[in-house]
Amino acid sequence: MKDQRLTDREVDMQDIKISAHGVQVFYGDTHAIKDVDVEIADKTVTAFIGPSGCGKSTFLRCLNRMNDTIDAARVEGDIRIDGEDIYDARVDPVQLRAKVGMVFQKPNPFPKSIYDNVAYGPRIHGLAKTKGDLDNIVEQALRRAALWNEAKDRLDKPGTGLSGGQQQRLCIARAIATEPEVLLMDEPCSALDPIATGQVEELIDELRSNYSVVIVTHSMQQAARVSQKTAFFHLGNLVEYDETGKIFTNPQDPRTESYISGRIG
């Protein structure tokens, strides 16, 4: 744990992937995110934790502008990826979302075949020149999402016919098939059994070598296992953001302390 933290600190200083300043989100009159500042490092796993309804998903959705699709939602503040303001008028959210992939809280496979689910992103972004390329991409994505063994004989069967946990892994495969630079995962393991969870966590750890991963989770153990940095949200505020080890062993804020101990203890 200790030397991992050391390497992370190095990375932190070199490479900030996402930086957010003064982010406010309103749903109509509801103030869901209150003046959040956060800097997310490249090639790290950042965990968002906090009680239900505190705005973790909302903040996550700001990072790939999925909140644009909610009419009532209004986002203020400055969010930059690689130094570019993603809410700039010149930014095309479609292009942004190709770069910032997302796995949603509830598994939402397309009602198409498993193959088409994974191939959809590469197809619309033109990532594969030939059928063979596409087959390859699909296979790699399914392998990395730990679904290949279960799915390889039923690629043409509907994705909605899979179990809940398999569906979530399919969604992960779909998200990584487009080779995003940032992967946002909203409670990706809430529907998974411990074995699949272990596989997904392995995947997350592996993804860290190339991408920056942001994961929302309700499991303290999971946050502790997979992330290098942890952010604790409470009632729309970012209460504490630090290295994971520090948050779990030596939290600075009493709210963090009570949340963690309440859950863990």
Partner 1 sequence: MTDMTPEATPRAAQSLFTRTDNVRRRYRRGSVLKYLGLGAIGLVLFFLCVLLWSILSRGIPAFFQYQAEIQLYYDPEILEADGTGPEALGELSLRSDLERGIFAQSLRRTLEDSGIDTAAFDDGDLSALIYAANRRDVRDELVADPDLVGQTVTVGVPISLNITRYLTGGLSGEGTSGMPPGFNREQLDLIDQMVAAGLVDRNFNWGFFTNEYSQSGEVAGIGPALMGSAYMMLVVLVFSLVFGVAASIYLEEFAPKNKFTDFIEINIANLAAVPSIVFGILGAAILLTLGDLGFGSSIRGTALLGGIVLSLMTLPTIVIATRSALKAVPPSIRDAALGVGASKLQTVFHHTLPLAMPGILTGTIIGIAQALGETAPLLLIGLSVSTGASILSSPFTGGLLEQAQSMPTVVYLFAQNQDLPVREGLAQAAIIVMLALLFALNIIAILLRRRFERRW
Ligand X SMILES: Nc1ncnc2c1ncn2[C@@H]1O[C@H](COP(=O)(O)OP(=O)(O)OP(=O)(O)O)[C@@H](O)[C@H]1O
Residue 172: helix, strand or coil by DSSP? helix
Residue 236, interface with partner 1 (CB under 8 A)?
Answer: no
108 or 237: whose CB is closer to partner 1? 108
117 or 168: whose CB is closer to ligand X? 168
Closest residue to Mg ion, judged by C-beta, is 57
Residue 57, interface with Mg ion (CB under 5 A)?
Answer: yes
Binding mask 84-103 for partner 1 (x = CB under 8 A): ----------xx-xx--xx-
**Footprint (CB under 8 A) of partner 1, residues 26-85:** 64, 66, 69, 71
Copy the structure tokens of residue 117: 């689910």
Distance CA 17, CA 201 (A): 21
Main-chain phi, psi angles of 264, to 5 degrees: -75, -50
Q: Which stretch binds partner 1 (CB under 8 A): 8-16, 108-116, 198-206, 241-249?
A: 108-116
DSSP labels, 6-41:
HHHHHHHHH-EEEEEEEEEEEETTEEEEEEEEEEEE
DSSP labels, 185-227:
EESTTTT--HHHHHHHHHHHHHHTTTSEEEEE-S-HHHHHHH-
Residue 109, interface with partner 1 (CB under 8 A)?
Answer: yes
Q: What does 55 interact with, of partner 1, ligand X, Mg ion, none (CB < 5 to 8 A by kind)?
A: ligand X
What residue ranges bind ligand X (CB under 6 A)?
A: 27, 30, 32, 50, 52-58, 70, 72, 105
Neighbouring C-beta atoms of residue 255, cutoff 10 Å: 16
Distance CA 227, CA 8 (A): 10
Residue 190, interface with Mg ion (CB under 5 A)?
Answer: no
Q: How far is the CB of 206 from Mg ion (least distance, A)?
A: 25
- Report the run of H or E that residue 166 belongs to, with start and end: helix 164-177
Q: What does 231 interact with, of ligand X, Mg ion, partner 1, none (CB < 5 to 8 A by kind)?
A: none
Residue 56's closest CA among 213, 189, 233, 239?
233
Distance CA 218, CA 259 (A): 11
Distance CA 166, CA 159 (A): 9
45 or 54: whose CB is closer to Mg ion? 54
Q: How many residues bind partner 1 (CB under 8 A)?
A: 27
Q: How far is the CB of 114 from ligand X (least distance, A)?
A: 27
Q: How far is the CB of 67 from ligand X (least distance, A)?
A: 8
Main-chain phi, psi angles of 249, to 5 degrees: -100, -30
Sequence-distant (6+) residues with CB within 8 A of 41 are 8, 11, 12, 15, 16, 17, 212, 228, 229
Residue 20, interface with partner 1 (CB under 8 A)?
Answer: no
Q: Which stretch binds Mg ion (CB under 5 A): 52-60, 62-70, 76-84, 238-246?
A: 52-60
Residue 158, interface with partner 1 (CB under 8 A)?
Answer: yes
Interacting residue ranges for partner 1, rule: CB under 8 A: 64, 66, 69, 71, 94-95, 97-98, 101-102, 104, 106, 108-112, 120-121, 124-125, 158, 160, 171, 174-175, 178
Interacting residue ranges for Mg ion, rule: CB under 5 A: 57
